Structure 1
Amino acid sequence: MKKGVIIAALIIMLLIFLSKMKKDETNVIGLKFEGPQDYINRLKPIAKELQVKTGIPYLFILAQTALETGYGKSSLVYEAGNFAGIKAKSGQPFVTKMTYEYVKNPNDYPTRDKSKDLYDAKTGKTRIFLPQNFAKYNSLIEGLTAYIKVLLLPRYANAFNYTNDVNKFTDEIWKAGYATDINYPSKIKSLIQTIKTKYGA
């Protein structure tokens, strides 16, 4: 199936799913989750449908978005409909937030908070804290669709050789450059276990 057809099918599926939610839950402003269990309960059905449509393991979707948003508590969710820390492209609406990145040459980032620089001798990289522009979406459906479109980019293609192994899938997404945090895969894997054992996903 062509990628464009997959995206169109995803949009239709998301519309059907969101039509079953309370009307105010489809709006970006005011989108709230009561805690981890509420987040998992509300995102699990859509994550499972996305797995069927795309092959992306539903536990990965739940764990990655939980990590990126603090189980939906991040202001990126209710201010920007951004579930996965997606950076804004040139000309795209955005919100600016402080975030950590791991880089080789911290001096290339003059806007960083230098007091928070932390060098890691093992990797030769420095963790820096700096403002970044994150993509802002007009609705929940737009944000979730954008997230899936990112995972379907060619750079992440190798991960889809491991759709039956969520841990390997996670490793490949990180290797392809989704995040600079050297502990990103282990954080997601830990959340996968928590989501399975504590929240019954």
Structure 2
Amino acid sequence: MWSNAASAPPATGSATAADFRRRYGTYADASRTATQVPALVTLGQAALESGWGAHAPGNNFFGIKARASDPPETRQLLRTTEVLDRPDATFPEVISVTQRADGKYVYVVRDWFRVYATPEDSFTAHGTFLRDNGRYASAFQHTDDPYAFARAVADAGYATATNYYDALARVMRTIEASN
């Protein structure tokens, strides 16, 4: 997942959290029905990962990666930042690698990300991705508590940002307050 999206509420003059909820809430609700991922988590991740919808190239609201072997019409090469434990990872293009004080490495790269025909397709794929990936199985013990679900997803390594849960919870609270 790309980790450079804005976590703050939208700036004055742009879409508000209420606008975002109105525009994409139906897709999050449909994903919840199909996959059991709490709609608030889906909306929160979509807002966080896409900068409140401002950065969703190819309708990819969640930063879901693709493989180079995926059909060309389903993938796009995008610039992103990754934090990894090793200095020798491979990507389609490595722009820079910098070691942090904690020994991890910050990569600025271009990597493959999924392309979706519509936002609805992206929201559905996000729920399916979480549901079908064993890495996130523990989150599904908390389908009645979106914050516990979000914590479990973050703890399972959904994003490389060390403060991902805190940023996601802030966005989720902003969305809840936008009623």
- TM-score tier after normalising by the smaller chain length: 0.7 to 0.9
Point out where structure 1 has 5 or more consecutive residues left out of the alignment.
Answer: 1-33
Structure 1's 147 and 174: CA in aligned 2 closer, same or farther, altered over 3 A?
same
Letter in 1 for 2:117: N
Residues 1:112 and 2:91 are matched in the alignment: no
Deviation for aligned residue 1:48: 2.9
Task: Give the C-alpha shift of residue 75 in structure 1.
Answer: 4.3
Counterpart position of 1:3? none
What is the match of residue 60 of structure 2? 82
SS in 2 for 1:138: coil
What is the identity, as a one-letter code, of the residue corresponding to 2:62?
A: A
Q: Report the Cα distance in structure 2 between the residues aligned to 1:192 and 1:75, rounded to whole angstroms.
A: 18
Aligned pair 1:147/2:147, yes or no? no
Match of 2:106, SS?
strand
Within 2, Cα distance between the matches of 1:75 and 1:165? 27
Match for residue 91 of structure 1 among 70, 83, 94:
70
Residues 113 and 129 in structure 1, CA contact (< 8 A), matched pair in contact too: yes
Contact 2:27 2:123 in 1 (8 A): no
RMSD: 2.2
Cα deviation 1:26-58 (Å, max 9, x = unaligned): xxxxxxxx5133222111233234334432111
* Larger RCO: 1 or 2 (CA < 8 Å, sep 6+): 2
SS for the counterpart of 1:106 is coil
Q: Distance in 2 between matches of 1:171 and 1:39?
A: 22
Please tell me whether residue 45 in structure 1 is matched to residue 26 in structure 2: yes
How far does the alpha carbon of each residue in 1:162-200 deviate from its partner, in whole angstroms, 9 at most, with x for none? 112222211211232322222211110111111122x22
Q: Distance in 2 between matches of 1:141 and 1:39?
A: 14
Task: Tell me what 1:177 maps to.
Answer: 157
Tell me how far apart the structure 1 counterparts of residues 159 and 62 of structure 2 sit (CA, whole Å): 10
| Distance in structure 2 (CA, Å) of the matches to 1:143 and 1:46 | 9
Distance 1:87 1:72, change over 3 A: same
Taking only the aligned residue pairs, the percentage that are identical comes to: 29
SS in 2 for 1:74: coil
1:3-18 aligned at under 5 Å gives the runs none
- The residue aligned with 1:29 is none
Residues 171 and 75 of structure 1: is their aligned pair in 2 closer, same or farther, counting only changes over 3 Å?
closer
The aligned counterpart of 2:49 is 68
Match of 1:17 in 2: none
Contact 2:65 2:113 in 1 (8 A): yes
Q: Distance in 1 between matches of 2:116 and 2:176?
A: 30
Give 3-state SS (helix, strand or coil) of 2:94's partner.
coil
Residue of 43, 50, 57 corresponding to 2:38: 57
Pick the structure with more helix per residue: 1
Letter in 1 for 2:15: G
Give the partner amino acid of 1:182. T
Tell me how many residue pairs correspond in the alignment: 160
